[in-house]
Structure 1
Amino acid sequence: MKLFDVYPLYNVTPEKGEGVYVYDEKGQKYLDLYGGHAVISIGHAHPTYVERITEQVNKLGFYSNAIQNPLQVELAEKLGRLSNCEEYNLFLCNSGAEANENALKLASFHTNKKRVIAFKNAFHGRTSAAVAATDNGAINAPINNQHSVTTFLPFNQLHSLDYELAFGDVCAVIIEPIQGVGGLDEPTTEFLQGVQQLCKKYNVVLILDEIQSGYGRSGKFFAFQHHDIEPDIITVAKGMGNGFPIGGVLIHPRFEAKYGMLGTTFGGNHLACAAALAVLEVIENEKLIDNVNEISAYFIEKAKKIKSLQKLKGRGLMLGMEFEQNVSEIRKELIYEKKIFTGGSSNKNLLRILPPLTIGKHHIDTFLNSLSDVLKNQNL
């Protein structure tokens, strides 16, 4: 049997990770400024993370949600405290797409409506309703078009949103406070606050997709917290487990839970909870959100000196460097010649920077010096 060939692959085979580095099968070291799509939040093979998972798997790796699992309660309490979202309730699942799927389903249950408002260049996942709320026709199969009740609007146009919500058939507005795959675009504070007001006016559920921007990556625990709003539902995943599959839906207490309305086999299993608890412990004990803000300011100050850089986008350690030309050759030279991982996006001129939150200033220096060499080599 062969693998189903759906991923364009770089010719690199990581075998080991440590901190902000990964090592291939030949022992070659690479600086990881992408973290596998912002998944690696506390660094590769962090000792606390390894210890917690090892200890848990030696006791019990899995049992279903038909029994008591105190680790879920501990995770909910710790996540609520560190994120300042203690009044919310937590539903645990396995991925970002699944988190958004359940968020949309919950909104539809709550309002008894089905139309969704999403935004241009949005990416919310690849499962049924989540992909229908994703602004990419290439990954929406005909079967997904049964969810043809998604309307895509531009950021920062409240009059367009008001017009659509006035029809009275919308269950949810789902929005990324910083777009990931879409290219690091952000709505303004004025717009997000206006969205919240309109959702309240029309009894529509406001879902903040923090799959990539959450867990401190923006410089606050959640990126929406830069804008002084209170979502009805918050979805999380990528950095939540530092590589162990886990996702979550934070649900405002105004939503009434009923047995069977949401469910999952593997979500919130013992190993996943151990991984997620380790991540929160490290974020708190090592003051990683403070580090995000310090390193981000340093990065931005240094990056602005690159003459060919057109625009610097994003917040914290969720950053995009936009150039006049396609960055694919820049990324190739960075990975093959400079041994540095970076990311791309639907904006082909944007280099995406999503390192572990443990990164230091000397790593930023290494990257920016290497990037300057690459730009010079390519006459940019």
Structure 2
Amino acid sequence: MKPSATSHLNPDRDFLLRHIQFDKTMVRGDGVYLFDEDGNQYLDFLAQYGAVPFGHNPAQSWDALCAGRGEPSMVQPFYTPAAKQLARELIQLEPEFNFAHAVFTNSGAEAVEAALKMARSTTGREKIVSLHLGFHGKTAGALAVTGNPVYSEPFLVSTAQSIKVEPEDIDALEFAFAGHEIAGFILETVLGEGGMQPLSDAYIQRVAALCRQHGAMLIVDEIQTGMGRLGEYFSVKRVPGVRPDIVCLSKALSGGLVPIGAVLCTKAAWSEAFGYYHSSTFANNQVGCRVALSTLAQLRDGDGALLRHVDAMAAHLDAGLDVLVEKYPDVFSQHQGKGLMHSLRIKPFNGHESYFLAHASVQGYIVPLICGYLVNVSKIVVAPLFNRPDLLRIEPPLIIEREHIDRLLSALDECAHLIRCKQFSSLLSYLVGRQPEELSYSGKATADIALVPNGGQEAGKMPERLGSFAFLIHPTSSEDLLNIMPRSIIDLDGPHKKEFEDWMASWFSRRYEPAPVFHAPRIESKLGGYVEGWLIACPLPPERMMRLPKAHRMRLLEQYVEAAKSVGADIVGLGAFTSIISRGGMDIADAGIPITTGNSFTAIASAESLHKALVATGQSRFDSRVAVIGASGSVGRLAAIHLSTYYASLILVGNSANAQAIDQLGEIAGEIYAQALMQMQRGSGIGLAQYLRSHLVEPLNVVARVNQIVLRDGTPDYRAVRRIVEENLPSPAPIEVSVDIEQVIRNAHGVLSATSVGRSFIEPAWLRDAAVVCDAARPPDLKANVREERPDVLVFEGGVVRFVEPYKFGRANILGFDPTLNLACLSETVALAMSGAKQSYSLGNRIPYDQSLRIYKLALSHGFSDCIATVEGELDLQTAGFAEKSIANLNP
């Protein structure tokens, strides 16, 4: 998506608005309707967060605005007639409040600033108490008392003089007053940005009593709740026995036309210092005050007819939203609000249908997506809550009518129906500029989600919870990325599917923060007990992840770990390229939680699978050659060492772009020789150990010399080991090192590929006739056309094992696997959680081989197994879940 012209105003907000098709240019407003430059009409249920009380372009407000033509607007330090009249009328609105003074401002945030200054100057104290869910504006002083730190922390706003308490927590409230000298308590009677949550009368009454008892100012923020929004000039009037010291007004006071705010206070709240040292250039201006006077007149018309209308419409809206929550408990989890301030809580998506929906729920863009549907399809303007990303805000103009509310309720009903029926292609069609009826489908039947539950539980027996894990995932290809979307989008025709792919690529270019997308409540061990787990997903593919600057990669890893800790995981497994960008987990080894790359089980299981496939195809002979591509990597190195226990002739292949590749491969060759010599000493009669026993000149002398090198303090010099061994062997040496992949794998009966290239690059033509290939890379190293071009070759996915029991991690599962299969790196994470691991494993590029073998055997003991199965010596491809599916999964 290209940036729009509005990106000059706010490029970050523009990014969001463009992606949810909210980047409308409104050119006309009339009552409860807005009109964009294309002539579309929208029903307004946002009213500019309450700042448009009488709809758009109210005639009476415009008349007041124009009536002052010729009068001076700003005459500081003098007064204007309208300012004096407005102050008098505001003070007299509720005589029982005993307001004595009015101070005019330019906004709600400025009104809060003035109120805080007033409270502090009058009491001579600094501390202000506010609510955790409260919102009072975005200037520095207002931010200090705003509950959500996300608004203050980026700007280094000090909150040292602010005390936050939870709403309705009387004990915390009394503790705050008992422990500090308090200047004032600021609250909204309905927490607007805090979820449209009304405070109870009892709580507000207790706040007021404590303020009186301790000589603190009770500040009521009526910026959103006042001027008719809750059916009164001041909503606090409906709380029996409460009389505020200071009230802040704005939004609706403006009539929806001009910026203006006001602070009303009692005589006791005023101080001489405030009177002398607080002022504002634009305060008291004639234009704003004239419009505000018109606002009061319209609220008073017909002896408060509009206020009574608000009460009637509020009751209708309240009842209708309650019906929706009752009808769709699977979509809406809560409705709350009062007057014409309401919210609907969207029930979070759990990842069973789509990891994308779960990611959107956690990261707070599911409600914007739903708002986008309502704006673009239903033509109704609503918005999310700033503080509560799972809440949809409903805040219409005061002049809203029953038929308008019914239209909103009908649109919400249609939206909920689409969600319930999993028709997400229709719900989200607007993202790609289409109406639902424009979409066409591939003809596939949309399958219902068939989750495979974790085993049964014996009656009366409660299994032991052994621990918990988090596994970090991300798409390894464009196909994987699309597969995280709901099924109805996956089933679209190619062109429409491509439009969604393009949208996702653009959206995830910036919104890729990791989030928990699936919860596995119970995975049982064969030894007894179970573990609980979460998948933590980031939507970045490998090439994007690798291109991140180092600081961004580290921040991404920190976010992954933070998400894992937030769900209470005991151990974190690094999937796919999260291991690569963290240097095999070394960069986050000190993150305060055990880490595993899963590379031990991946390597050994892949090597075992290749060996079994070679045995079953009759190619596991004394003279068989096995190539390991990516042998200098963590998985490749371990796999090569393990394969040497079966095969004497190995080809270690590295990256030709790496100037040190040959030297690194030579070191690994020396390590393999050292391992084989140990096996030889233990009497091994197969693989490289047997070859060395048969071919070494003076084997005891070689062993003695190698032991001196390997056992000395420090890192063994495996290059020297290689030199010693090969000096005492006939030529050519059994281990070949090379960076010419095309040439050397033509001689390999078996190939194990485990590079981190991030794309498919191995041509089918390079392979030997009837070769067996285990591709353990993600995404695959071997190109997908192997299926058509080389029917003689057996190719299967490496790093895949039989899971401890059939289990499906949502509709998409991991890379679309059959429920009986899963990644070895995930399985290692699960096995370590089952074993109560308290430390990190499989870290770095040089994982000890004996540690890998222990993990492999540990996983087998819990019920995991290699995914290659044989029946009477023949490959059971159906049981293994490979064959056509695996080959088809390899990407071009």
TM-score by length of 1: 0.94
On the 8 A contact 2:104/2:260 being kept in 1, the answer is: yes
Offset at 1:6? 4.5
**1:314 aligned onto 2:354:** no
**1:138 aligned onto 2:179:** no
Deviates more, 1:82-91 or 1:14-23: 82-91
Once residues 9 and 154 of structure 2 are traced to their aligned partners in structure 1, the CA distance between those partners, rounded to angstroms, is 24
Which of 288, 291, 294 is the equivalent residue of 2:309? 291
Q: How does 1:1-380 map to 2 (within 5 A)?
A: 2-7=8-13, 8-9=16-17, 10-56=22-68, 58-60=69-71, 62-84=73-95, 87-88=98-99, 89-141=101-153, 144-228=156-240, 229-243=242-256, 244-258=258-272, 259-285=275-301, 287-306=305-324, 307-308=327-328, 309-325=332-348, 326-345=366-385, 346-379=387-420
Offset at 1:377? 2.0
Offset at 1:84? 4.5
Going from structure 1 to structure 2, the CA distance change for 1:27 and 1:143 (only over 3 Å counts) comes to closer
Which consecutive residues of structure 1, in runs of 5 or more, have no partner in the other structure? none
On the 8 A contact 2:254/2:291 being kept in 1, the answer is: yes
Going from structure 1 to structure 2, the CA distance change for 1:373 and 1:138 (only over 3 Å counts) comes to same
Going from structure 1 to structure 2, the CA distance change for 1:84 and 1:21 (only over 3 Å counts) comes to farther
> In structure 2, the residue corresponding to 1:254 is in which secondary structure?
helix
Offset at 1:349? 2.3
Once residues 110 and 237 of structure 2 are traced to their aligned partners in structure 1, the CA distance between those partners, rounded to angstroms, is 23
Going from structure 1 to structure 2, the CA distance change for 1:6 and 1:64 (only over 3 Å counts) comes to farther
**Amino acid in structure 1 at the alignment position of 2:200:** T
Going from structure 1 to structure 2, the CA distance change for 1:19 and 1:147 (only over 3 Å counts) comes to same
On the 8 A contact 2:127/2:180 being kept in 1, the answer is: no
On the 8 A contact 1:77/1:86 being kept in 2, the answer is: no
**Amino acid in structure 2 at the alignment position of 1:197:** A
> In structure 2, the residue corresponding to 1:305 is in which secondary structure?
helix
On the 8 A contact 1:128/1:144 being kept in 2, the answer is: no
Q: What does residue 528 of structure 2 align with?
A: none
Deviates more, 1:115-124 or 1:252-261: 252-261
On the 8 A contact 1:206/1:231 being kept in 2, the answer is: yes
Offset at 1:136? 2.1
Offset at 1:204? 0.9
Once residues 58 and 24 of structure 2 are traced to their aligned partners in structure 1, the CA distance between those partners, rounded to angstroms, is 22
On the 8 A contact 2:98/2:266 being kept in 1, the answer is: yes
> In structure 1, the residue corresponding to 2:195 is in which secondary structure?
coil
What are the Cα deviations for residues 198-227 of structure 1, in whole angstroms up to 9, with x where unaligned?
111111111111111111101222221221
Once residues 320 and 179 of structure 2 are traced to their aligned partners in structure 1, the CA distance between those partners, rounded to angstroms, is 48
Looking at secondary structure, tell me which structure has more helix per residue. Answer: 2
What are the Cα deviations for residues 127-178 of structure 1, in whole angstroms up to 9, with x where unaligned?
1111111122222147653342111101112222222212342211111110
Going from structure 1 to structure 2, the CA distance change for 1:266 and 1:144 (only over 3 Å counts) comes to farther
> In structure 2, the residue corresponding to 1:15 is in which secondary structure?
strand
**Amino acid in structure 1 at the alignment position of 2:228:** G
Deviates more, 1:81-90 or 1:30-39: 81-90
Offset at 1:68? 2.3
Once residues 373 and 148 of structure 1 are traced to their aligned partners in structure 2, the CA distance between those partners, rounded to angstroms, is 47
**Amino acid in structure 2 at the alignment position of 1:273:** C
On the 8 A contact 1:246/1:268 being kept in 2, the answer is: no
On the 8 A contact 1:183/1:347 being kept in 2, the answer is: yes
Going from structure 1 to structure 2, the CA distance change for 1:281 and 1:144 (only over 3 Å counts) comes to farther
On the 8 A contact 2:108/2:249 being kept in 1, the answer is: yes
Offset at 1:295? 0.5
Once residues 166 and 130 of structure 1 are traced to their aligned partners in structure 2, the CA distance between those partners, rounded to angstroms, is 24
Once residues 389 and 9 of structure 2 are traced to their aligned partners in structure 1, the CA distance between those partners, rounded to angstroms, is 27
Cα RMSD, aligned residues only: 1.8
Offset at 1:123? 0.7
Once residues 334 and 64 of structure 1 are traced to their aligned partners in structure 2, the CA distance between those partners, rounded to angstroms, is 46
Once residues 193 and 294 of structure 1 are traced to their aligned partners in structure 2, the CA distance between those partners, rounded to angstroms, is 26
What are the Cα deviations for residues 3-26 of structure 1, in whole angstroms up to 9, with x where unaligned?
343434322111111111111112
Offset at 1:85? 5.8
Offset at 1:86? 6.5
Larger RCO of the pair (alpha carbons < 8 Å, separation 6+): 1
Going from structure 1 to structure 2, the CA distance change for 1:302 and 1:164 (only over 3 Å counts) comes to closer
On the 8 A contact 1:42/1:283 being kept in 2, the answer is: no
Going from structure 1 to structure 2, the CA distance change for 1:254 and 1:331 (only over 3 Å counts) comes to same
**Amino acid in structure 1 at the alignment position of 2:122:** H
Once residues 226 and 281 of structure 1 are traced to their aligned partners in structure 2, the CA distance between those partners, rounded to angstroms, is 21
Offset at 1:237? 0.6
Identity %: 28
Once residues 134 and 255 of structure 2 are traced to their aligned partners in structure 1, the CA distance between those partners, rounded to angstroms, is 24
Once residues 64 and 139 of structure 1 are traced to their aligned partners in structure 2, the CA distance between those partners, rounded to angstroms, is 35
**Amino acid in structure 2 at the alignment position of 1:232:** D
Once residues 299 and 291 of structure 1 are traced to their aligned partners in structure 2, the CA distance between those partners, rounded to angstroms, is 12
> In structure 2, the residue corresponding to 1:310 is in which secondary structure?
strand
What are the Cα deviations for residues 25-78 of structure 1, in whole angstroms up to 9, with x where unaligned?
12211000001111001111111111111122x223522331121211211232
> In structure 1, the residue corresponding to 2:65 is in which secondary structure?
helix
On the 8 A contact 1:331/1:342 being kept in 2, the answer is: yes
TM-score by length of 2: 0.41
Going from structure 1 to structure 2, the CA distance change for 1:335 and 1:209 (only over 3 Å counts) comes to same
What are the Cα deviations for residues 260-284 of structure 1, in whole angstroms up to 9, with x where unaligned?
2321100121110111111111112
Going from structure 1 to structure 2, the CA distance change for 1:86 and 1:300 (only over 3 Å counts) comes to closer
Deviates more, 1:355-364 or 1:282-291: 282-291
**Moved segments of 4+, more than 6 Å:** none
Once residues 268 and 323 of structure 2 are traced to their aligned partners in structure 1, the CA distance between those partners, rounded to angstroms, is 49
**Amino acid in structure 2 at the alignment position of 1:312:** H
What are the Cα deviations for residues 327-346 of structure 1, in whole angstroms up to 9, with x where unaligned?
33221100010111112112
Which consecutive residues of structure 2, in runs of 5 or more, have no partner in the other structure? 1-6, 349-365, 422-892
On the 8 A contact 2:191/2:199 being kept in 1, the answer is: no
> In structure 1, the residue corresponding to 2:167 is in which secondary structure?
coil
Going from structure 1 to structure 2, the CA distance change for 1:204 and 1:144 (only over 3 Å counts) comes to farther
Once residues 403 and 282 of structure 2 are traced to their aligned partners in structure 1, the CA distance between those partners, rounded to angstroms, is 40
Once residues 109 and 354 of structure 1 are traced to their aligned partners in structure 2, the CA distance between those partners, rounded to angstroms, is 35
